Structure 1
Amino acid sequence: MDFVRVIKHSNDLEKFIDIPEGLKNRKVEIIILPYTDQEDIEQGKKKSLRGALSKYKNEFLQNQESDAWSKNVVDKYENR
């Protein structure tokens, strides 16, 4: 990644950017990095996984999902 790092007197920068009082009349380090919009990065990475596991779908088991936990608890702890 290309970048620029320069040491300058803050008075030279007052024409371009607002300098906080604590940095006026001092040497400052300027680092220039390429701007990357985080939104653009996230949009490029987002991919939908919808339907990715559809080949494993079992409609018979889907109907049993609502009471699967309670049945499992009964099976496991019924005789304790």
Structure 2
Amino acid sequence: MSYIRKITNSEELSKIIDLPDDLKNKKVEVIILPYEENTKTKKSHKSLQGSLKKYKNQELINEENTAWEKMVKDKYENS
């Protein structure tokens, strides 16, 4: 793979791209590499929705609405 590597004054680059303040008025190294999009390595994002479905417990799901109330009652009932 061929590339270009050059050390230059950042003022030359500021004509082409916006540079952060901490790079202005300094020597910088510029490396230019070819961009090759490879569709084989391109990852697609899959949804994890439903991946834990086999672990669900319907009885516990039904109790979720009152879980906080039960916990507070158990903890502070005799205080």
TM-score range, shorter chain: 0.5 to 0.7
Identity of counterpart residues, as a percentage?
49
Structure 1 stretches lacking a partner, 5+ long = 38-42
In 1, Cα distance between the equivalents of 2:34 and 2:72? 57
1:40 corresponding residue in structure 2 = none
Q: What's the offset of the Cα at 1:44?
A: 2.6
Question: Number of residues paired by the alignment?
Answer: 65
Aligned to 2:53: 54
Match of 2:7 in 1: 7
Instruction: Give, in whole Å, the separation in 2 of the partners of 1:48 and 1:6.
Output: 43
Structure 1 runs of 4+ aligned residues shifted over 6 Å read none
State the alpha-carbon separation in 2 of the partners of residues 47 and 55 from structure 1.
18
TM-score, length-scaled by structure 1: 0.52
Shift of 1:72: 0.8
Return the structure number with greater helix share: 1
